[in-house]
Amino acid sequence: MMFRTALTFVALLIGTLVFGSTVLIAQLFGVKQRPGSIYEKCPRWWAWWLLRAAGVKVVLHGSDGLVAGAPRVYIANHVSWFDIPSMIEVLPHYGFVAKRELEKIPIFGAAARGVGVIYIDRENRKAAFGAYEDAAKTIQQGNPVLVYPEGTRGSSYALRPFKKGPFVLAIASQAPVVPVVIHGTIEVNPRDEFRASPGTVHVHLLEPIATTGLTYDDRNVLADRVRERMAACLREVYGVEPALVSGERERHAEPLPAPTSS
């Protein structure tokens, strides 16, 4: 396992340097974003390189939510750093909504922004909402976005409370929400452990949920529907219990402001 961990770490460094630098050079020379461009290829190459180094196989279950060029908001559980390359492996080109701390990583942070990552400041609610508004505009232009509504990685597959922002984003964009369940990445790379182990990661794309006609006031109902669908998959396929505590959300947190535009 130590050899595999070392190999993965070296692959991460080399892959980030090579593919990240490629993105930055493309930006420097004014290469435009378009289907099949270097901005779409480099994340896939980076994910392929890293997953193969770690000995990870990714299996996709369900593809109804995969529609190239169609606006989508993918809502996924988050339990491992390996969730990121696993999702890149199976999804068409899309943007992430990610914590701003990642932007500080040399080369990776700037390159990730170049390929469509939208950073949010979790300590600044107003700034975070502004980032969600930017993401909504990106989605309306036909660019899918992936959000982890739990906010940070968990130590088990049981779902934790969902933040409201991702569902405000989905409603503002009026794009279908695709609930996603990731299973197997904890065994590859648990939270707070510096190791990588070979394994199989399963990504389940569940039935999309329409947001057409929903308003800001429907954000809690939408969050519940998405969470219940993800919880049912975890329970039925993997026996994860408890996967859902009815009505469990951060209801007492300061509410996000209503969007100023759709």
pLDDT digits (tens, 9 = 90+) for 186-228: 999 998 888 899 999 999 999 999 999 999 999 999 999 999 9
Predicted structure pTM score: 0.85
Give domain status of residue 219, yes or no.
Answer: yes
Rounded CA gap, 240 and 233, in Å? 9
- pLDDT of amino acid 259: 52
Q: Which domain holds residue 157?
A: 57-238
- H or E segment at 224? helix 219-238
Give domain status of residue 210, yes or no.
Answer: yes
CATH number for the domain spanning 202: value is: 3.40.1130.10
Rounded CA gap, 177 and 232, in Å? 16
Regions of the chain with pLDDT less than 50:
246-256, 260-262
Give domain status of residue 22, yes or no.
Answer: no
DSSP states of 37-103: SHHHHHHHHHHHHHHHHHTEEEEEE--TT--TTS--EEEE----TTHHHHHHHHSPS-EEEEEGGGG
Q: How large a percentage of the chain has pLDDT more than 90? A: 53
Give domain status of residue 38, yes or no.
Answer: no
**pLDDT tens readout for residues 161-187:** 998 888 998 999 999 999 999 999 999
Q: How many domains does the chain have?
A: 1
- List of residues 6+ apart from 148 with CB closer than 8 A: 76, 77, 78, 83, 97
Give domain status of residue 32, yes or no.
Answer: no
Give domain status of residue 190, yes or no.
Answer: yes
Give domain status of residue 258, yes or no.
Answer: no
Give domain status of residue 146, yes or no.
Answer: yes
